[in-house]
Homo-oligomer: A and B are copies of this chain.
Amino acid sequence: MSAQLLLKDRPQLVSKQALPLKKADIAKDFQAVLSQYARAFDAGSTLLIEGEACKAVFVQMDGWMHLSKSLEGGQTQIIEFVLPGDVIDASSADGSTASGTLETLTCGRVSVVPRHIWTALLRERVELHRFAQRMDAARQARLVERMLRLGKGSAEMRVAYALIEFLMRLDGGGVRPQSRFRIPLTQQQLGDYLGLSSVHICRTLRRMVRNDVLDVRDHMEVQINDMDALVALSGLDRQAFRKAIVTRQF
């Protein structure tokens, strides 16, 4: 896996991703707590298994992960991708077991904060609590937006949606999105995210390339050529989307 390379050849993006929270606005003790529990990970490791004990909150610092859930038949659905800056609490309603399986897609760093520490942090820092709430609302909005398309949308709509979601999350909801970015996913994984087979992901991407909407180079390096067309395909209201889906401001 060329995860290292993946991140290495876009240094400006990486640095932006690695510190999505504005340093100046965050108390030093928060940063200290995060780095205290920080650990590095490789691509392809499993951090959490569905149903097993989980008493920590994950704050992603660098790299990609995904949280997934499976049917007994081996069918896997990716619930969400975890990008730098994301906070994920994978515990289920009982508060102590993991609601899904957490696996890394690239190498990177994550801060694994024990729940009671995290809770205490939130309690004593109101602005952090509010930030966490907004992050959570944004996460939920993405989940719902995708569910809408799983239920009612075509393959083309789902893929277009996912690309725009990645695009916007990667550049932190900036006003001028990059039109070129790399997704550290196989088509199989993208399919598991969108409820499609890898074969159909491939065909759908090919069709978009044929229609000059975008280009795809080696292993999911995407270049958007016609953003308006992509947005139209996705069925998104661009304004509303940016507001609802992305939260990176502390």
**Could you tell me which A residues sit within 8 Å of B by CB distance?**
51, 69-73, 75-77, 79, 91-95, 99-100, 133-134, 137-138, 140-141, 143-153, 192, 194-195, 235, 240, 243-247
Residues of B within 8 A of A94 (CB): 243-244
Q: How many angstroms between the C-alpha atoms of A92 and B148 in the bound complex?
A: 16
Contact of A194 among B92, B134, B149, B151 (CB under 8 A): B151
**Number of this chain's copies in the complex:** 2
Q: How many angstroms between the C-alpha atoms of A245 and B151 in the bound complex?
A: 21
Q: Taking CB as reference atom, which chain B residue is nearest A91?
A: B137
Given contacts A51-B240, A93-B138, A137-B91, contact A150 B150 (CB under 8 A): yes
Residues of B within 8 A of A100 (CB): 144
Residues of B within 8 A of A150 (CB): 147, 150-151, 195
Q: How many angstroms between the C-alpha atoms of A73 and B234 in the bound complex?
A: 12
Residues of B within 8 A of A95 (CB): 133-134, 137
Q: Taking CB as reference atom, which chain B residue is nearest A69?
A: B148
